[in-house]
Amino acid sequence: MEYKDYYTVLGVERSASADEIKKAYRKLVRQYHPDVSKHKDADAKTKEINEAYDVLGDAEKRAAYDELGRGYRPGQEFRPPPDWGSQFDVNGAEGSDFFADLFAHVGRRGRAGGAGMGGMGGGFRMAGEDIHAGIAIDLRDAYQGATRNVTLRVPERNAAGRTVTRDKTLSVTIPKGVTPGQQLRLGGQGQPGIGGGPAGDLYLEVQLNPDPRYRTEGAHVYENVPVTPWEAALGASISVPTPSGPVEVTVPPGSQSGRKLRLKGRGIPAAQPGDLYLILDVVLPPASSDRARELYQAMARDLAFNPRDRIGA
Amino acid sequence: MMAQVHSLTGVLLDDVALTLEELARACDVEPDWVVRHVRAGVLGGAPDMPVQAASLRFRSIDLLRARRLRDIERDFDANEDLAALVVDMADEIRRLRARMHVLGMRLV
């Protein structure tokens, strides 16, 4: 694995004080916050910044990182020493491979496992941490349900008693009717507990892959439907492809671009099913032939039509 | 050697809600923190309702909001009311962006 320079990530000197590190972190968090940042890679950058601060913002982890990383350069192949990290607990799984392998041991603060918590003596039990991650699916999967593989890097004790990480692949069945932002819970798939404590849970936040044909808002789905001027003006029955298959739709006469036709219950089939909105988009045929130009000229001559009436022109 | 694949079915939080303890654990906070935010009207139901810890239930939106609140409070040592305001504003930005996207509009 490649060595990561967390000091460079946060833009601080290796000698920076805890306060300087915190200030640099806050500045970068504001700069790359996905809600306000215009950077294309704001999400990835935010993860990187959080990972760096998770280490440098914790005195114990920072000391361990400094000790291990002495002499390494960013991108250089990195191997932790063989006796590294034999006695610590595990960390969350949101960081990079480098982070997971290096700091599987120094550990975030664990949680007490209810009645089992009895100080650091013999009765010590601790529940494993929950893991939070995202899972991206297509809109069609939200309509039909899907199965997706999720790979997590999890800690494990090897034969020598050392904590090492390995990839664990879960085949996750996603029920139909999920909407963006909803959370799937997979009980017991988080980090393992300590001293017989229960494992944490895995939470997957559902995200939809962008689709040029459809837009969503909660369970409602929006689709632009091109129509000809005569279909819009005279009304027509047209076939429209939708996420749940083609449907026959009646275009009312006198329709204009932007008119919304609601197909009730044909949005994402959530507990409260969404609606599908077809937004009409009147497309003009090109005046690219003599005959087409003649027809446009006939309309100009025969139709007393001024679309700028309403703006006083 | 082929890696072992475990087959599992995800449970939608909106079908099976989280208890107070479960939400607190999922956010790595104390249950008191959650109760305080419910009482303030930032999480869960209406703030004027009496809060019975045992009967509190939380869904996807609460988990998302709780984790955002916790991050802002921790990252910036932020006052809880200010963190709530930031999260409310961020939610509104997201809602407006989604609306613009639905209407086929883009920020210039």
**Structural domains in chain A plus CATH codes:** 1-79 (1.10.287.110), 129-209 (2.60.260.20), 214-311 (2.60.260.20)
For residues B80 and B73, give the distance between their C-alpha atoms in angstroms, rounded to a whole number. 7
Domain annotation covers residue B4: no
Domain annotation covers residue B93: yes
Q: Chain B residues with CB inside 8 Å of A178's CB?
A: 12
Domain annotation covers residue B1: no
Check CB contact under 8 Å for B90 and A35: yes
Cα→Cα distances A147→A170, A183, A204, A206, A224, Å:
10, 15, 13, 13, 29
Please give the pLDDT value at position A36: 79
The pLDDT tens digits along chain B (108 residues) read 556 778 888 888 888 889 999 999 999 999 999 999 998 888 886 555 666 778 889 999 999 999 999 999 998 999 999 999 999 999 999 899 889 988 887 765
A224 residue type, one letter? N
Residue among A276, A151, A168 at smallest CA distance from A216: A276
For residues A149 and B3, give the distance between their C-alpha atoms in angstroms, rounded to a whole number. 12
Please give the pLDDT value at position B49: 60
Please give the pLDDT value at position A33: 85
Cα→Cα distances A219→A22, A208, A274, A312, Å:
40, 12, 4, 41
Q: Chain B residues with CB inside 8 Å of A36's CB?
A: 93
Which strands form A163-174's sheet, in the order they lie side by side?
A146-157, A163-174, B5-9
pTM for this entry = 0.77
Domain annotation covers residue B50: yes
**Chain B contact for A79, CB < 8 A?**
no
Chain B residue with CA closest to A166: the answer is B3
Q: What does the pLDDT look like over A231-264, one tens digit per residue?
A: 999 999 999 999 999 999 999 999 999 999 999 9
Q: What does the pLDDT look like over A84-125, one tens digit per residue?
A: 543 333 334 456 667 766 665 544 443 333 333 333 445 677
Query: Do A127 and A50 form a contact (C-beta atoms < 8 A)?
Result: no
Domain annotation covers residue B5: no
Q: How confident is the model at residue A44 (pLDDT cuts 50, 70, 90)?
A: confident
For residues A95 and A182, give the distance between their C-alpha atoms in angstroms, rounded to a whole number. 22
Cα→Cα distances A47→A64, A199, B67, Å:
21, 24, 15
Q: Chain A residues with CB inside 8 Å of B10's CB?
A: 172-175, 184-186, 204
Q: What does the pLDDT look like over A164-195, one tens digit per residue?
A: 778 888 999 999 999 999 999 999 998 888 88
Query: Do B9 and A184 form a contact (C-beta atoms < 8 A)?
Result: no
Domain annotation covers residue B13: no
Residue B72, domain extent: 20-102
Please give the pLDDT value at position A154: 77
Q: Which residues contact A155 (CB under 8 A, 6 or more apart)?
A: A90, A104, A163, A164, A165, A191, A192
Specify the higher pLDDT residue, A62 or B108.
Answer: A62
Alpha helices, DSSP H, located in chain A: 6-10, 18-32, 42-56, 59-69, 97-102, 139-144, 229-234, 290-302
Q: Chain A residues with CB inside 8 Å of B66's CB?
A: none
Check CB contact under 8 Å for A184 and B13: yes
Q: How confident is the model at residue A83 (pLDDT cuts 50, 70, 90)?
A: low
For residues B88 and A195, give the distance between their C-alpha atoms in angstroms, rounded to a whole number. 40
Please give the pLDDT value at position A34: 78
Split into its structural domains, chain B has a count of 1
Residue contacts between A and B (CB atoms, under 8 Å): 101
Check CB contact under 8 Å for B11 and A173: no
Sign of the torsion formed by the C-alpha atoms of A143, A181, A127 and A85? positive
Q: Chain B residues with CB inside 8 Å of A203's CB?
A: 13, 26, 63
Please give the pLDDT value at position A116: 33
Taking only Cα atoms into account, the Rg of chain B, rounded to an integer number of angstroms, comes to 17
**Chain B contact for A233, CB < 8 A?**
no
Chain A residue with CA closest to B6: the answer is A170
ipTM score here?
0.84
Q: A118 is written with which tokens?
A: 């009895």
Percent of chain B's residues with pLDDT above 90: 53
B51 to chain A, minimum CA–CA distance in Å?
Answer: 22
Check CB contact under 8 Å for B8 and A172: yes
Mean pLDDT, residues A53-76: 83
For residues A265 and B1, give the distance between their C-alpha atoms in angstroms, rounded to a whole number. 47
Query: Do A184 and A207 form a contact (C-beta atoms < 8 A)?
Result: no
* Chain B stretch 13-32, residues whose beta carbon is closer than 8 A to a beta carbon of chain A: 13-16, 18, 22, 25-26, 28
Specify the higher pLDDT residue, B50 or A40.
Answer: A40
**Chain B contact for A13, CB < 8 A?**
no
**Chain A contact for B100, CB < 8 A?**
no
Domain annotation covers residue B72: yes
Q: How confident is the model at residue A206 (pLDDT cuts 50, 70, 90)?
A: very high
Query: Do B45 and A239 form a contact (C-beta atoms < 8 A)?
Result: no
In the DSSP assignment, the letter for residue A289 is S
Phi, psi of A140 (to 5 degrees): -60, -35
pLDDT at A278 over 60: yes
Please give the pLDDT value at position A254: 96
Q: What does the pLDDT look like over A125-140, one tens digit per residue?
A: 788 889 899 999 999 9
